[in-house]
Amino acid sequence: MARTRRREIKRVPRTDAALPEYDRGALPEGLLTRRQLRAQGLSPGGHDPVGILRCKACAYRPQWSCIHPTRAWLYSVHRARLKRTPTLAQERALDQAMAARQTCPRCRRRYYFCLPLRTLGCCLECHDGTPADPTSYVAPPGHALAA
């Protein structure tokens, strides 16, 4: 097999480029790369890039459009959306907050609903002996051993 022919890179004058191109350090406000969006907890939300962040090498060829792999797509922060899916850490924090409101400090059962901890300070069964529905809670770990 002959050596791979050097691919001719199609250069376009910057004025003919499909998307406006911007140099690093001269970005208009509100345009961010995908990575910068992610750092703010945002995602493009399905909108197409609105510009191109030119690579460093192209700073020396301002009249040509950048077709290099190190260029980056730019998205409008005004059309970006908040990422819906919470991170694992956020989910864990949420679960810990819920666990605190659903666990009885006396019997250590974790109920599937929030307990009146502010008024009673414990579950109903611990408060006045009203038996709790066994399907409404998870027994604390080690409960069988302690019994």
Does 106 participate in binding Zn ion (rule CB under 5 A)?
yes
SS3 21: strand
Does 132 participate in binding Zn ion (rule CB under 5 A)?
no
SS3 82: strand
Count how many Cα atoms sit within 13 Å of the Cα of residue 98 in the half-sphere of its side chain: 10
Number of residues that bind Zn ion (CB under 5 A): 10
Does 66 participate in binding Zn ion (rule CB under 5 A)?
yes
Looking at 11-19, 58-66, 76-84, 90-98, which segment touches Zn ion (CB under 5 A)? 58-66
Count how many Cα atoms sit within 13 Å of the Cα of residue 45 in the half-sphere of its side chain: 13
Q: What is the DSSP letter of 122?
A: S
Choice between 80 and 102, CB closer to Zn ion: 102
Per CB under 5 A, residues contacting Zn ion are 55, 58, 66, 68, 104, 106-107, 122-123, 126
